[in-house]
Amino acid sequence: MALLVKKIKGTEDILPRQSYKWQFIEKVMSEEAKVYGFKEIRTPVFEQTELFRRGVGEGTDVVQKEMYTFETKGGESLTLRPEGTAGAARALLEHNLINDGLPIKAYYFTTCYRYEKPQAGRQREFHQFGLEVYGAQDALSDAELICAANSIFERLQLRNIRLEINSIGCPECRKNYHKALKEYFEGHKDTLCGTCLTRLEKNPMRILDCKSPVCKEIAANAPKILDFLCDDCKEHFDKVQKYLTAAEIPFTVNPSIVRGLDYYTNTVFEFIADGIGAQSTVCGGGRYNGLIEELGGNPLPSLGFAIGLERLLMVMDAQNIEISSPESPALYIAALGDAAQVKAFSMAKTLREAGLEAQFDIVGRGLKAQMKYADKIGSKFTLVLGDNEIAENKAKLKNMSTSEQKDISLGEDFMQEFFAALIESETNPALSL
Ligand code: HAM
């Protein structure tokens, strides 16, 4: 087959045979969000480019190199969201959600768009689940947020996922830190990569995030932000650690975590999993006390995180965490002849009203082909209906995995008898919806 149109590089289709895995993790995540008090927010896929310039930050890779930005016919510059935090913050301000009472807790599932070089765990369109908390300054809120991410990973039975935290302080601590970093990196100007030379001028902390081995080696001995925290920021970070310890959530302090987006202040964190290659950060987040003000609101201490769903599923696959495949149809009704087809239709309707998946022939196949199809879709039971069965008001119910057959009434007792047969055949140990 010569395919005329193909999917765009860096995008993936989620097919009917895979979507149950997505539905499963989405269900776990929204249930966890709910017990932590979060309500869903949905924002548009595109926003004014200015939102991300201001929110995510002019100097970030995301804004400088990775945004899908286009001009509308009306001459307006729009951008496909590269992440979910800026859009949610815009909506908070635009709808004055602050009046609903603080703190506000919102969760979202979004597609995100970044023009990055695709590789395992890195796509141009990808999915995030995120939590955002607005109007909470206490270190308890940092710990609670991290605890929510941890609960999700625990419920999904993830192993070997480590939590790394850091504090990048407030703008005041960072002023001194930038100065020290600049001085340090100035001494290595000859060896830094071209991108880092620009970073040196604009935001030397970005150099700590560079993937080039040479820059990495230089960065290893750079001054550490934790030595530059002011008393308040230090106290905040100490408390976050104290609360995490009290909640028995293991973590390590990694002073090289700076995160790639400009809005962060104070606590930043990542959950990192082994076994899925270089793109191993499954979840990233932190506090962003300056973002709401940056977008025109009054200062509002806020924080959040996002989990990359593709990466999460990769980890689950790598760790052989089984998610139960979708329930197969309870019953396939193979019908021959007009009267049988009408009966099959009405029986399927009754079964569906009771919440069971039932199927019958809608494409005009012969009996043999119908049975083959029932087998292919994995139907648990089949029922063959012809003129005789209709006349006698009973038919043979076949258990497709044991090939056992037994008579079943097509009258009033049908549902009761069918439920009994179904319950008798149930066994399923995997994680399921
Ligand atoms: P981020 O670290 O840019 O943070 O992305 C969060 C997660 O999204 C990453 O840890 C990763 O799992 C996934 N991710 C990022 N880029 C890609 C990609 N190209 N392909 C596949 N997965 C990817 C943020 O986006 C922040 N908005 C998180 C946040 C929310 N901070 C506060 N609130």
Would you call 268 exposed, middle or buried from its count of C-beta atoms within 10 A (0-12, 13-18, 19+)?
buried
pLDDT tens figures, 371-390: 999 999 999 999 999 999 99
The pTM of the full predicted model, rounded to 2 decimals, is 0.94
Report whether 288 contacts 85 (CB < 8 A). Answer: yes
Predicted local distance difference test score (pLDDT) of residue 351: 97
Predicted local distance difference test score (pLDDT) of residue 288: 98
Distances (CA, A) of 11 to 4, 46, 118, 304, 320: 17, 17, 9, 26, 24
Buried b (16+ CB within 10 A) or exposed e, 178-187: bebbeebbee
Question: Could you confirm whether domain 331-421 is CATH 3.40.50.800?
Answer: yes
Predicted local distance difference test score (pLDDT) of residue 429: 46
Which of 41, 65, 112, 270, when mutated, tests ligand 1's pocket best, judged by the most ligand atoms within 8 Å of its CB? Answer: 112
Using a 6 Å CB cutoff, which residues line ligand 1? 83-85, 114, 116, 121-123, 126, 128, 130, 132, 260-261, 281-286, 304-306, 308, 310-311
Atom of ligand 1 nearest to the CA of 312: 12
Closest Cα to residue 250, out of 332, 318, 165? 165
Can you say how many angstroms the Cα of residue 280 is from the centroid of all Cα atoms in its chain? 14
Domain ranges in the chain?
Answer: 16-170+230-318, 331-421
Given a cut of 70, the residues of the chain with pLDDT beneath it are: 427-433
The residue whose CA has the least distance to atom 30 of ligand 1 is 305
Predicted local distance difference test score (pLDDT) of residue 430: 53
Q: How far does the centroid of ligand 1 lie from the alpha carbon of residue 207, in Å?
A: 19
Predicted local distance difference test score (pLDDT) of residue 433: 55
Task: Give 16-170+230-318's CATH code, choosing from 3.40.1000.10, 2.40.50.140, 1.20.1600.10, 3.30.930.10.
Answer: 3.30.930.10
Distances (CA, A) of 175 to 178, 180, 205, 208: 5, 9, 11, 16
Angle of helix 139-155 relative to helix 19-35, nearest 10 degrees, comes to: 150
Which of 60, 83, 109, when mutated, tests ligand 1's pocket best, judged by the most ligand atoms within 8 Å of its CB? Answer: 83
Atom of ligand 1 nearest to the CA of 281: 10
Give CA–CA dist 411/427, Å, rounded. 28
Report whether 230 contacts 28 (CB < 8 A). Answer: no
User: What is the pairing mode between strands 281-287 and 265-273?
Assistant: antiparallel
Predicted local distance difference test score (pLDDT) of residue 326: 85
Integer-rounded Cα Rg, in Å, for the chain is 28
Give CA–CA dist 114/61, Å, rounded. 10
Atom of ligand 1 nearest to the CA of 283: 10
Can you say how many angstroms the Cα of residue 230 is from the centroid of all Cα atoms in its chain? 35
